[in-house]
Amino acid sequence: MIKHYKITVTGSVQGVGFRYSVRNIAHNLGISGFVKNLYDGSVYIEAEAEQNILAQFVDWCKQGPKMAIVEHVDIKEAELNGFLLFEVRY
């Protein structure tokens, strides 16, 4: 079943290539949605895929790229949006 997750990642996650790593992982897993930096220093992601794929994605988000220090990952389920691709938003 396809799910939609709203994910907020906090910690030292900006300026370390987090968004571009998220985009690459999402492309590799076949996830659609977007990622963007928030003004409070966190990274916000909306992702749609099969639940088991999203579970893998969330596990990766808990680690992030090697320069990131992830402190917390908040996940909320939401209604499907029907994203066609995955992109970095500014």
Give the residue numbers marked as catalytic: 19, 37
Helix (H, G, I), strand (E, B), or coil: what is residue 89? Answer: coil
